Amino acid sequence: MLRFRLISLFLFSFALLAVTPLVDAQNIEVIPIAHHLNNPRGIAVLPDGKLLVVEAGTGRDEPRKVEGTGQISILDDLNADGDYDDENERSTILSHQPSYNSLPRFATFHDEVFGLGDIAVLQDGQIFYTKDDPFAAKAPNSPDDMELYVGDTGIFKLLDNEGQLFVERNATINALVYAPDRELFFAVESGYNQMMSVNLAGEPEVQTAFPLLDHTQQPVPSGIAYDTRTGDVLISLFSGFVHNYYGTDLSYMPGDARIVRFDPDTRTLSDEITGLSTAIDVAVDEQGNIFVVELTRQWPTPLMALDFDLYDPTAPPDPGGYPRFTGRVTMYPVDASAPLILADGLDTPTNITYADGRLYVSSGLGTPGRSVWTAEGIQSIDGTIYMITGF
């Protein structure tokens, strides 16, 4: 199935130890500010400093289940202690959203959760988000003994704590950004390896398709950012499956992932940053410095068994297809000076947001609470948000 040829796209004490800022960058701080989230993904910073956070959910929801585990919440540090883990500091504004795991549903060999994904907030306060729900309803006239479904996937607008369809699509939208000077959304569709624009009337237009990577694997557009200085769009291309690499299948090829730059005026595409392992999201600040998140910097672990029981507490630890606690955030200065590692050792980071001199990074991809093995020992998957400052 075309829409699912992607590698998409996300314990407190251990997390504090595992994240290691560059030692000679003394001002950089990597601070965990929210724990125990169910696959946190897109983050938006509101004008009053509160965070708007998307959670894809647990991945355990049944196709016909009414109350899903995906949600959007406002995080408010009421006691000003620097985190959002205390009572009443999280207010859900959209709940019971669909969530599914790609391992049992589409045999992807990875423990990955899908559902709600990214979020964008306009200057007038309108909120838009992405949703991937291929199991919204049973397909009309399908046999009782077959699981055939029709989906509810695309970009949605949040109105009165409910989602209203804005743009319907039939492929997963991994990332979304709004360009206020163009009055356009830009979004990447991993199922089609393409980027589209959407105007405020909800009319989509495909802008560009991405070519295969160096080992002929799918480019898998995974993240997006808008460069307000130039009017360009930056896209992260996550290296897809490398089939039959010396007799094996790899989840990705280290060195093939990249950041590309797209000029909407000329519709030209060019390489911006190459040689990355697993570029999964990108951000850019007012000066043009680029920030890249890599899910991992290591070679792939063995693929996950398709019959692995993700919800069995006695199941053996398994990384779920990606090395754990090996993710990285890197800054690429606009003056072309040496890249600066801002954080290393993050557990499968998936999304990054820049706002007011700070970065916010979502991490912890997979079934919440499931045991994984790492270089430091056995840990549990815990959805965590980090704030990075001092760069």
Q: Which domains does the chain have, with CATH numbers?
A: 2-10+13-389 (2.120.10.30)
Confidence of residue 145 (pLDDT cuts 50, 70, 90): low
- Edge-to-edge strands, sheet with 184-189: 173-179, 184-189, 194-199, 204-209
pLDDT tens readout for residues 165-183: 999 999 999 999 999 999 9
Give the pair of three-digit tokens for residue 374.
């790492």
**Residue 358: phi, psi to the nearest 5?**
-130, 155
pLDDT tens readout for residues 190-215: 989 999 999 999 999 999 999 999 99
Element (H, E) at 341: strand 340-346
Q: Taking a C-beta distance cutoff of 8 angstroms, is the pair 330, 342 a contact? A: yes
Element (H, E) at 106: helix 102-106
Cα(138)–Cα(240) distance, integer angstroms: 30
Higher pLDDT, 141 or 53: 53
**Residue 272: phi, psi to the nearest 5?**
-105, -50
Amino acid at 235: I
Per-residue 3-state assignment (H helix, E strand, C coil) for 215-261: CCCCCCEEEEEEECCCCEEEEEECCCCEEEECCEEECCCCCCEEEEE
Give the pair of three-digit tokens for residue 236.
């992260």
Q: Is the pLDDT of residue 147 over 80?
A: no
Cα(80)–Cα(86) distance, integer angstroms: 10
Determine the pLDDT at residue 5. Answer: 31
Q: Taking a C-beta distance cutoff of 8 angstroms, is the pair 328, 294 a contact? A: yes
User: Can you tell me the mean pLDDT for 224-240?
Assistant: 97
pLDDT tens readout for residues 51-89: 999 999 999 876 555 578 999 999 999 999 999 999 999
